[in-house]
């Protein structure tokens, strides 16, 4: 089956610094990837939709200048948390969309990246 990887799986950074998270589709090409945020014991919240070769589409309330998304190739999307603050500490999950039928798609999820900002 389709596999999505994320790197790093866990990162600690100091307040004010930036950190980049990578999301890769390992065995398929994904024109669309998604970035989610998950707080402890809560559900996944969609942050943005990442489209290869074009600008990401952010959900309401998500600061696009703070959460920079780049989808430069069909297998890689990156999320950069700029000027990180402790409240940005969270579990970030990406998914990649792949066609599974004539007219249907499925999202495959990465294992997530735990970000801790000190």
Partner 1 sequence: AQRVTQPEKLLSVFKGAPVELKCNYSYSGSPELFWYVQYSRQRLQLLLRHISRESIKGFTADLNKGETSFHLKKPFAQEEDSAMYYCALSGHSGGSNYKLTFGKGTLLTVNP
Footprint on this chain of partner 1 (rule: CB under 8 A): 32, 34, 42-46, 49, 93, 95, 97, 103-107, 109-112
> In the complex, what is the shortest distance from the CB of residue 84 to partner 1, in angstroms, rounded to a whole number?
24
Q: How many CB atoms lie within 10 A of CB 60?
A: 4
Q: How far apart are CA 42 and CA 39, in angstroms?
A: 5
Distance of closest approach, residue 40 Cβ to partner 1, in angstroms: 12
Residue 10 or 83: which CB sits closer to partner 1? 10
Instruction: For the CB of residue 43, give the shortest distance to partner 1 in the complex, in Å.
Output: 4
Of 93, 66, 91, 70, nearest to 81 by C-alpha is 66
């Amino acid at each position: 089956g389709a596999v999505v990887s994320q790197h790093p799986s866990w990162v600690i950074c100091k307040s004010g610094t930036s950190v980049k998270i990578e999301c890769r589709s390992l065995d398929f090409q994904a024109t669309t990837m998604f970035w989610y945020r998950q707080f402890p014991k809560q559900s996944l919240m969609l942050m943005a939709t990442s489209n290869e070769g074009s600008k990401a589409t952010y959900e309401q309330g998500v600061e696009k200048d703070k959460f920079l998304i780049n989808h430069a190739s069909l297998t890689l999307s990156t999320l950069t948390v700029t000027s990180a603050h402790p409240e940005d500490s969270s579990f970030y999950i990406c998914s990649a969309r792949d066609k599974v039928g004539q007219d249907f798609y499925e999202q495959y999820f990465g294992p997530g990246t735990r970000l801790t900002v000190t």
